Chain A
Amino acid sequence: MIRNLNIILIFTSMLMLAGVYTIKFAIENTASERTALIVQIDSQQGDLSLLKADEAVLNQPGHIEPIIRRHVAALAIAPVRQEQFGSFVDLPMRPVKPNMAAMDSLFTALDAGIDPIDAILELEGIE
Chain B
Amino acid sequence: MAVTADGHGPTIALDGARKVRGNLTHARIRWMILALVLGFGVIGVRLVQLGMVETDSSIEGQARDIITATRPPILDRNGLEMAVDIRVPSLYAEPRRIIDVEEAVRKLRTVLPDLSEDWLRQRLTGDQGFVWVQRELSPAIEEKVMRLGIPGIDFITESKRFYPGMTEASHVLGSTNIDNQGIAGIERHMDGEDVALLQDLGLARGNALTPVKLSVDMRVQHVMHEQLLDAIQRYSAIAAAGVMVDIYTGEVIALVSLPDFDPNVPASALVKDSFNRVTAGIFEPGSIFKTITMAAALDSGAVKITDQFDARFGVRFGRYTIDDFHGKHRILSLPEVYKYSSNVGIIHVMQALGKERFRAFLNTIGFDQRVPFELPEMRLPSIPKTFSDVGAATASFGHGLSVSPLHIVTAYAALVNGGNFIEPTLYKRDVADAQALYRRVIKPETSAEIRYLMRLNALEGSGSQMNKEALGYRVGGKTGTAEKVVDGRYSSNKVTNFFGSAFPLDNPRYAMIIMVDEPKAENAQSGTTAGWNAGTVSGRVIQRVAPMLGIAPDFAKVLDENLVPSVLR
Binary contact track B148-177/A, C-beta < 8 Å → 1, others 0: 000000000100001011101000000000
Within 8 A of A (CB), among B443-481: 471-473
From 413 to 461 in chain B, residues with beta carbon under 8 angstroms from any chain A beta carbon are none
The answer to whether B80 touches A82, judged by C-beta atoms less than 8 angstroms apart, is no
- Identify the closest chain A residue to B88 (Cβ): A46
Would you call B87 and A56 a contact (CB within 8 A)? no
Given contacts A50-B86, A60-B168, A79-B544, contact A65 B226 (CB under 8 A): yes
B191 within 8 A of A: no
Contacting residues, chain B, for A53 (C-beta < 8 A): 81, 84, 86, 162, 164
Tell whether B372 is near chain A: CB-to-CB under 8 Å.
no
Tell me whether B157 and A82 are in contact (CB under 8 A): no
CB pair B222 A62 closer than 8 Å: yes
- Interfacial residues of chain A within 36-77, with CB under 8 A of chain B in the complex: 42, 45-46, 49-50, 52-53, 55-57, 59-63, 65
Chain B residues with CB below 8 A from A56, complex form:
80-81, 84, 164
Q: Are A49 and B87 touching (Cβ within 8 A)?
A: yes
- A66→B76 CA distance, assembly (Å): 21
Chain A residues near B555: list those with CB within 8 A. Answer: 82
Q: Closest A residue to B85 by CB, please name it.
A: A49
- A62 and B165 contact, Cβ closer than 8 Å, known pairs A56-B84, A82-B471: yes
A108 at the interface (CB under 8 A from B): no
Residue A15 at the chain B interface, CB threshold 8 Å: no
Q: Once the chains are docked, how many angstroms separate the CA of A59 from the CA of B82?
A: 10
Which B residues are within 8 Å of any A CB, using their own CB? 80-81, 84-88, 139, 157, 162, 164-166, 168, 207, 218-219, 221-223, 225-226, 471-473, 543-544, 547, 552-553, 555
User: Contacting B86 at CB < 8 Å: which of A49, A79, A80?
Assistant: A49
| Chain B neighbourhood of A42, CB < 8 A | 87, 157
- Cβ proximity bits A13-29 to B, threshold 8 Å, 1 near / 0 not: 00000000000000000
Q: Are A62 and B168 in contact (CB under 8 A)?
A: yes
Bound Cα distance from A46 to B162, whole angstroms: 13
Partner of B157, one of A46, A62, A80: A46
* 12 residue pairs bridging A and B, Cβ less than 8 Å apart: A46-B139, A49-B86, A52-B81, A56-B84, A59-B164, A60-B164, A60-B218, A61-B168, A61-B221, A62-B222, A82-B543, A85-B547
Chain A residues positioned under 8 Å from B221 (CB to CB): 61
Q: How far is the CA of A82 from the CA of B219 in the complex (A)?
A: 18
Closest beta carbon of chain A to B535's beta carbon, Å: 18
On whether A82 and B222 interact (CB within 8 A), knowing A49-B86, A60-B164, the answer reads no
Interface SS, B side: mixed
A105 an interface residue at 8 Å Cβ cutoff? no
CA distance A46 to B68 in the complex (A): 12
Among candidates B86, B166, B553, residue contacting A82 with C-beta atoms closer than 8 Å: B553
CB of A61 within 8 A of CB of B86, answer no
- Say which residue of B164, B207, B222, B552 sits within 8 Å of A87 (CB atoms): B552
Report the separation of the CA atoms of residues A79 and B547 in the bound assembly, to the nearest whole angstrom. Answer: 11
Query: A52 vs B70: C-alpha distance in the bound complex, in angstroms?
Result: 15
List the 6 closest pairs (A to B, CB-CB), nearest first.
Answer: A46-B87, A56-B81, A56-B164, A61-B222, A82-B553, A82-B472
Residues A49 and B553 in contact, CB atoms below 8 Å apart = no
Residue A52 contacts which of B80, B84, B88, B165 (CB distance < 8 angstroms)? B84
Contact A45 B80 (CB under 8 A): no
Q: Complex Cα distance A79/B86, Å?
A: 35
CB nearest to B138 among chain A residues: A50
Q: Which residues of B contact A62 (CB under 8 A)?
A: 165-166, 168, 222, 225-226
> Which residues of chain A are within 8 angstroms of B544 by Cβ–Cβ distance?
79
Chain A residues whose CB sits within 8 angstroms of the CB of B87 once the complex forms: 42, 45-46, 49-50
A59 touches B162 (CB 8 A): no
A80 closest partner in B (C-beta): B547
- CB atoms of A49 and B552 under 8 A apart: no
Interface centre among A46, A82, A83, A87 (most CB of B within 10 A): A82
Interface contact B553-A85, CB-CB below 8 Å: yes
- Tell me whether A60 and B86 are in contact (CB under 8 A): no
> A52-B84, A61-B168, A65-B226 are known contacts; what are 16 more A-B pairs with Cβ within 8 Å?
A42-B157, A46-B157, A49-B86, A50-B87, A56-B164, A57-B164, A59-B80, A59-B164, A60-B218, A62-B166, A62-B168, A79-B544, A80-B547, A82-B543, A85-B552, A85-B553
Q: Which residue of B lies closest to A52 (CB)?
A: B84
Residues in B with CB closer than 8 Å to A83 are 553
| In the bound complex, CA of A50 to CA of B166 (Å) | 16
| Complexed CA–CA distance, A61 and B139 (Å) | 28
Nearest residue in A to B553 (C-beta to C-beta)? A82
Selected contact of A61 from candidates B84, B88, B219, B472, CB within 8 Å: B219
Structural contact, A45 and B207, CB atoms closer than 8 A: yes
Q: Mark A78-101, 1 if CB is under 8 A from B, else 0.
A: 011011010100000000000000
Q: Which residues of A contact B164 (CB under 8 A)?
A: 53, 56-57, 59-60, 63
- Residues from chain A with a CB closer than 8 A to the CB of B88 are 46
Chain B positions within 8 Å of A82 at CB level? 471-473, 543, 553, 555
**Alpha-carbon distance between A29 and B331 when the two chains are bound, in angstroms:** 96
In the complex the two chains form, what is the Cα distance from A118 to B8 in whole Å? 158
Contact A65 B222 (CB under 8 A): yes
Min CB distance A48 to B, Å, is 9
Cα distance A63–B139 in the bound complex, in angstroms? 25
Residues of A within 8 A of B139 (CB): 46
Alpha-carbon gap, A45 to B471, bound state (A): 50
Q: Which residues of A contact B166 (CB under 8 A)?
A: 60, 62
Please report the C-alpha to C-alpha distance between residue A50 and residue B142 in the assembled complex, in whole angstroms. 15
Q: Return the chain A residue nearest B82 by Cβ.
A: A56
B405 to chain A, nearest CB (A): 22
- Alpha-carbon separation in the docked complex, A56 to B225 (Å): 18
Alpha-carbon separation in the docked complex, A59 to B75 (Å): 12
List of B residues within 8 angstroms of A49 by Cβ: 84-87
In the docked arrangement, what's the CA distance between A46 and B143, Å? Answer: 14
Query: What separation, in Å, do the CA atoms of A61 and B545 have in the docked complex?
Result: 12
User: CA of A126 to CA of B349 in the docked complex: distance in angstroms?
Assistant: 74
